[in-house]
Amino acid sequence: MNVDGEGGASMEEKLVFMWGYLPGALPQRTPILSPLAVQLPRGGSSWRDVCGGGCGFAMAISDGGKLITWGSTDDLGQSYVTSGKHGETPEPFPLPAEAIIVKAAAGWAHCAAVTVGSEVYTWGWKECVPSGKVLGDSSAGSSVEKGIFDKQSLSLTEQVSPRSHGSRSSGGSVSGGIRGADETSKRRRVSPAKQVAESSSPVDEPLSAFPCLVTLNPGVRISSVAAGGRHTLALSDVGQVWGWGYGGEGQLGLGSRIRMVSSPHPVPCIDSSFNKDRAMGLARGNIGAEGQVYGVPGNYIKAIACGGRHSAVITDAGAVLTFGWGLYGQCGQGSTDDELSPTCVSSLLGIRIEGVAAGLWHTICISADGDVYAFGGNQFGQLGTGADQAETLPRLLEAPSLENVNARVVSCGARHSAIITEEGKTFCWGWNKYGQLGLGDVIDRNTPCEVPTDGYVAKNVACGWWHTLLLAESPT
């Protein structure tokens, strides 16, 4: 339920604020602890939307439909440009001139964008980029099919957090995915000279791919995208979900631990959930008093979200389905099992869910009544429950700060969460080592706290892994 920026005040009054860790956004490359206005690129008139950004970069959309990116091209020798080339100042990303962008999303090290014509462009870590029409000069590298953005010597799983600071997370590790304890993982230290030497090696396998136009079945029109650690979901205008990328924990919802899906496949959300409920109705609590097994309410999917290694979708009837990695309870099924197929979160049945967001290990939902429900990992207070215990079932947030507050927009970073209320206020909570909560300090919060925005009315919020972007309007 992202806000596109239409309606309300005039477009010229919209601003984008950023806070958290965006290397290169400040000359001294330090975290931004409080909301800071983002400068429009030269020639731009206003902002349309914010799209978060993955590891160390940010994305937003201008009123003219250009995808604007910024962040660091190099952070003290540790590269964050696997997802493409992002400059230190906001500027249009090099997509075709005719591509008018309306939605975009970024995972750990890949990006996807939807055009006004319902087409999808994607780029970044090459295993996240499916086959399609490649843009750019494919002769620039050894990969003719996908091209090369930048030959890099650091693999995705070796990149962790800014400057590899430790954390208090115990984490869990599943082979082949982003490490559960990514904060405590070590990444290679490569000198610039060695990095150049390795990058110029003819036997190097390129890690990045040029933007490509995703090949979908004829007639498929995409309306939104979501990007996770190494997987992508796309939602069509008729409510069908498509997925590609890594699926080793079931995050593609195809019923198996398929490690890599190289082309978009339909994710049978409602059908598969109905069949699974029929087989596991007792375990899932979906059997009525007469012993009848209920199918999943709804006829199509209206919203999608990707976490680090799990996914969540919402049906038109407001039911939530989750699938993927479940070690921290992030699928909300009352267990820590992986869910290989989309499965209804039965404890939320009867509550109409309007928005969902997923982080590295947690999931946040908001209801039509404006209530907030949280489940999954909680090592940094990212659930907002006032404690640090994980929750394997959705828990209603009852923090005093949310009393008489109706949530309307939700977003999750790696280990922090954010909502916008009906009144246009912004609340953040969770991990704050890099100022990603926008509260002026680096102290974690385990309950929602209001972010001071000088009276600006928040319209949309989008979290990157270690930062937050806010679309706001000037006070009237």
Q: What is the pLDDT along the chain (476 residues), one digit of tens a residue?
A: 333 333 333 444 899 999 999 876 676 678 999 999 999 988 778 999 999 988 889 999 999 999 999 987 555 444 456 778 788 889 999 999 999 999 999 998 899 999 999 999 999 988 898 877 666 533 333 232 233 233 332 333 323 334 333 333 333 322 233 333 343 333 323 333 333 222 333 334 567 788 999 999 999 999 999 999 999 999 999 999 999 999 999 999 999 999 999 999 999 998 655 444 444 443 343 444 344 445 789 999 999 999 999 999 999 999 999 999 999 999 999 999 999 999 999 999 999 999 999 999 999 999 999 999 999 999 999 999 999 999 999 999 999 999 999 999 999 999 999 999 999 999 999 999 999 999 999 999 999 999 999 989 999 999 999 999 999 999 87
Mind spelling out the 3-state secondary structure of 185-208? CCCCCCCHHHHHHHHCCCCCCCCE
Q: What share of the chain is helix, strand, coil (3-state, %, to 5)?
A: 10, 35, 55
Query: What spatial distance separates the first Cα and last Cα of the chain, rounded to whole Å?
Result: 24
- The amino acid present at 9, given as its one-letter code, is A
Mind spelling out the 3-state secondary structure of 148-177? CCCCCCCCHHHCCCHHHCCCCCCCCCCCCC
- Give the C-alpha separation, 178 to 159, whole Å: 9
User: What pLDDT sits at residue 269?
Assistant: 92
Q: Is 369 exposed, middle or buried (0-12, 13-18, 19+ CB in 10 A)?
A: exposed
What would the DSSP string read from start to end of 298-332? -SSEEEEEE-SSEEEEEETTS-EEEEE--TTSTT-
Question: Do the strands 426-430 and 416-421 form a parallel or antiparallel pair, or are they unpaired?
Answer: antiparallel
Q: Is the pTM of this model over 0.75?
A: yes
User: What pLDDT sits at residue 86?
Assistant: 81
Helix (H) or strand (E) holding 284: helix 269-284
- The amino acid present at 369, given as its one-letter code, is D
**What number does CATH give the domain 11-167+195-473?**
2.130.10.30
**Residue range 320-340, pLDDT digits in tens:** 999 999 999 999 999 999 999
- Cβ count near 88 (within 10 Å): 17
- Give the C-alpha separation, 54 to 434, whole Å: 15
User: What pLDDT sits at residue 80?
Assistant: 58
**Residue range 389-429, pLDDT digits in tens:** 999 999 999 999 999 999 999 999 999 999 999 999 999 99
**What does the block give as tokens for 100?**
């008018």
- Work out the angle at residue 384's Cα, subtended by the Cα atoms of residues 383 and 388, and round it to the nearest 5 degrees: 70
- Cβ count near 297 (within 10 Å): 15
- Cβ count near 293 (within 10 Å): 15
The residues near 64 (Cβ < 8 Å, ≥ 6 apart) are 44, 45, 100
User: What pLDDT sits at residue 304?
Assistant: 98
Question: Do the strands 445-450 and 310-315 form a parallel or antiparallel pair, or are they unpaired?
Answer: unpaired
Locate the domains of the chain by residue range.
11-167+195-473
User: What pLDDT sits at residue 98?
Assistant: 93
**What does the block give as tokens for 184?**
């405590």
